[in-house]
Structure 1
Amino acid sequence: MKVAILGAGAMGSALTIPYSEKNEVVLWGTEYDVPILEKIRRGEKHPRIDERVAVNDILNPDELDKALNADILVIAVSTEGVMPIFEQISDSLKDQVIITLAKGFIDEGEILTIPQAIWHERKDLKRNIAAITGPSIAKEVAKKLPTHVVYSSLGDRTLKVVKEYLETDYYRISLTHDIVGCETASALKNVYSIAIAWIRGIESRKGNVTMNNLKGIIVTQALREIGTLVRANGGKTETVYDLTGIGDLIATFRGGRNGMLGELLGKGYDIDSALKELERRGVGVVEGYVNAERAYRLAETLDHKGKLKMEELPLLEGINDVLYNGKDAEEVIHDLF
């Protein structure tokens, strides 16, 4: 198969390594990726995964059309970039498998998962879309460390293709048709990972005291609320207690960007200072911050439809208060527990 990865960020670039074991791989970069493309062409390691990518060709921003004859297209940009990229390629798409990486909600007047937003534009591609969820830190994928993810799709052929051509002995793939549940849970784990990581920051703030009891409480509450939202949005409960939910939640709050943001907030940073500190460290888009407001609006919509009650989601309320209303994370934890 020929696989084209659209976006040269950390995860898109990391996936060139397992994908290249059975396939021809090309990597296309956006205008924001140009410095990275130059490093790759010089044979240097990708700066965000500390490994060399494994590609047959590298395409510049003005060469997007050259990527579109691939059998598998991977949209590997941030949530905000998915639909602009899709709109550029939509008219050229035929029967390719299309894989999305971003974990978030899209605001199309209503709050949608990324696959739902794509289906809205091209209903005929509904069974061609697959989404990747589960514990998957880009650096670990690039270093061939054990990774087990979930590919979800409504299409049986799509699931067969990704399993046969993209799985390796270190990059394992489970399959499910619950794409809405997977994408809802995956977007929410970014949001809730921020809150779970508050505890690390609070521990530091209190002189490195250990607060494992509180971690257990807040992780349990996060999973309870994610389950409530996934069910209300049309997904399956079991998705939350598998790799997509609890598995990815652990990886994200311990090692991801959302966890880094949460830790800073727990230490007492306000949101503006925390985001500036992450920018100083060279950290990219924090999906959980962008999506927390949308998750809250989705919850309100589901409440209005009678599918849940907002009082079932006190932690989401607290996250919203810290990120958008200037409340201190430790104060929210105190109020909750």
Structure 2
Amino acid sequence: MSSSPTPKSRVLVLGAGNFGSCLADHLGDCEHEVFLWSRDPGFVEYFNVHHRNPNYLKDHAFSTNIHALGPEIPNKETVQQMEVLLFAIPTQGIRETLTKLQPSLTGEKLPLMIFVNKGIETGTQALTLEIIADTCGSRVAREATFISGPSFAKEIVRRQPTSVSVASLTESRAEKASEVFHQPWFRCYTGRDPIGLELAGALKNVYAIAAGMADGLGFENNTRAMLITRGLAEMTKIGTAYGASPLTFLGLAGVGDLFLTCSSPSSRNYTVGYRLGKGEALEDIIRTLGSVAEGVTTAKGLKKIIDEMDVNASIATEIYQVLYEGKDVKTSVQELMSRPPSRELDLPEKTGDHAKGLLKKLGLDTSINGDIVKHTSQYGHECPVP
């Protein structure tokens, strides 16, 4: 089925949930040799016999180029045989998984490490880029690559046309990841703003909860369009204050993914909001949802970030109060709509402190491996060109 001349790779996909499974299937269909890791031994046995996922995308027959592994984390020998490691586990589990894998990431040649999770670590407010630096070191973080964009798993496995953003601080790694994934039905666009891409992917889940709440309350198209547009304005304001490029939020990882997750009942975060709007308790929704809605945990980390940056993000604040302070949904809507008039587009004057601190942790104000060729990035730092 593949029409790409790209050399085939051995790919280890960590996480056999909805999105990890669909990406494993896509890569297997592209004739890569794919290994799909799960901590569930029942899944591993079932998948290797039937080539079906008993928990997600149940009706789909998966590529025979995929072999399931687990439940133990892959050992050093297995990891070092891989050209690509694809992380498709929830953000809150990334630190633990990377800590276990770190001893395997030694030697001169690192595998291409691609992350598709979308969220902010609750306890630390860290983006995945910072978690990678904390657990695996600055070199691994500098070469890490991130993929985000409007991409429902059930449509990817049906090969419906899909496009995503691919970003890394090391441009050659983003280009390599794009080559691994790119197909006529799955287009990749590269960029050099992984911080913006991460923030866009995480924040849009919070605003999808807001859109779902509005639909659950019985509001219609005007309200949804308002929330998507104002949500994008807040995302751009928060991202710019953090130090990301505002242009990133106009791309696939920003407005593209925001529109998708705010407009479809297939979105887990939209579903959480919709059920909240219908009057259900959050605990009951989470217990019966069947999969992780990262916007719920992201809202908690986001609240701390906007407070630290002193950014006015009224929709995000109201979502936090509904989720964690027990605020009534209807009261939240009334207070949002009762706010006084304000400027429609207003980017913050003070920008970049969070991003600058993160880049300093990554060593991007010094040379890498003696290479002192530099360029100026959107983060306000001189970043080495690998």
Q: TM-score, normalised by structure 1?
A: 0.89
Tell me what 1:293 maps to. 300
Report the residue type matching 1:259 in the other structure: Y
Tell me what 1:206 maps to. none
Say if 2:285 is the partner of 1:274. yes
| CA distance, structure 1, for counterparts of residue 333 and residue 80 of structure 2 | 48
Gaps of 5+ in 2: 1-8, 338-386
Task: Report the Cα offset of residue 52 of structure 1.
Answer: 2.6
Tell me what 2:147 maps to. 132
Task: Give the % identical residues.
Answer: 28
Say if 2:78 is the partner of 1:71. no
Tell me what 2:247 maps to. 238
Gaps of 5+ in 1: 204-209, 304-308
Deviations 1:189-237 (A, max 9, x none): 111110111111011xxxxxx5211222222221111111110111111
Say if 2:43 is the partner of 1:36. yes
| CA separation of 1:137 and 1:172: change in aligned 2, threshold 3 A | same
Q: How does 1:125-204 map to 2 (within 5 A)?
A: 125-203=140-218
Partner-residue secondary structure (3-state), 1:249: helix
| CA distance, structure 2, for counterparts of residue 250 and residue 134 of structure 1 | 10
| CA distance, structure 1, for counterparts of residue 116 and residue 129 of structure 2 | 10
Say if 2:12 is the partner of 1:4. yes
| CA distance, structure 2, for counterparts of residue 128 and residue 136 of structure 1 | 24
Paired residue for 1:120, among 125, 134, 137?
Answer: 134
Report the residue type matching 1:227 in the other structure: T
| CA distance, structure 1, for counterparts of residue 251 and residue 73 of structure 2 | 39
| CA distance, structure 1, for counterparts of residue 242 and residue 196 of structure 2 | 7
Give the structure with the larger helix fraction.
1
Task: Report the Cα offset of residue 326 of structure 1.
Answer: 1.0
Asked if the contact 1:22–1:166 (Cα under 8 Å) also holds between the matched residues in 2, the reply is: no
Task: Report the Cα offset of residue 131 of structure 1.
Answer: 0.9
Tell me what 1:259 maps to. 270
Superposition misfits of 4+ residues, deviation over 3 angstroms: none
| CA distance, structure 2, for counterparts of residue 175 and residue 9 of structure 1 | 25
Report the residue type matching 1:82 in the other structure: I
How many residue pairs match? The answer is: 317
Deviations 1:103-152 (A, max 9, x none): 1112564x221112212331011332011111111111122111111111
Deviations 1:46-80 (A, max 9, x none): 23123133234221222611244201101111111
Tell me what 1:334 maps to. 334
Asked if the contact 2:228–2:259 (Cα under 8 Å) also holds between the matched residues in 1, the reply is: no
Say if 2:94 is the partner of 1:82. yes
| CA distance, structure 2, for counterparts of residue 53 and residue 236 of structure 1 | 38
Asked if the contact 2:165–2:252 (Cα under 8 Å) also holds between the matched residues in 1, the reply is: yes
Q: TM-score, normalised by structure 2?
A: 0.78
Asked if the contact 1:96–1:128 (Cα under 8 Å) also holds between the matched residues in 2, the reply is: no
Asked if the contact 2:94–2:131 (Cα under 8 Å) also holds between the matched residues in 1, the reply is: no
Report the residue type matching 1:99 in the other structure: I
Asked if the contact 2:48–2:67 (Cα under 8 Å) also holds between the matched residues in 1, the reply is: no
| CA separation of 1:136 and 1:22: change in aligned 2, threshold 3 A | same
Task: Report the Cα offset of residue 171 of structure 1.
Answer: 1.2
| CA distance, structure 1, for counterparts of residue 72 and residue 285 of structure 2 | 35
Asked if the contact 1:115–1:131 (Cα under 8 Å) also holds between the matched residues in 2, the reply is: no
| CA distance, structure 2, for counterparts of residue 260 and residue 68 of structure 1 | 40
Bigger Cα Rg: 2
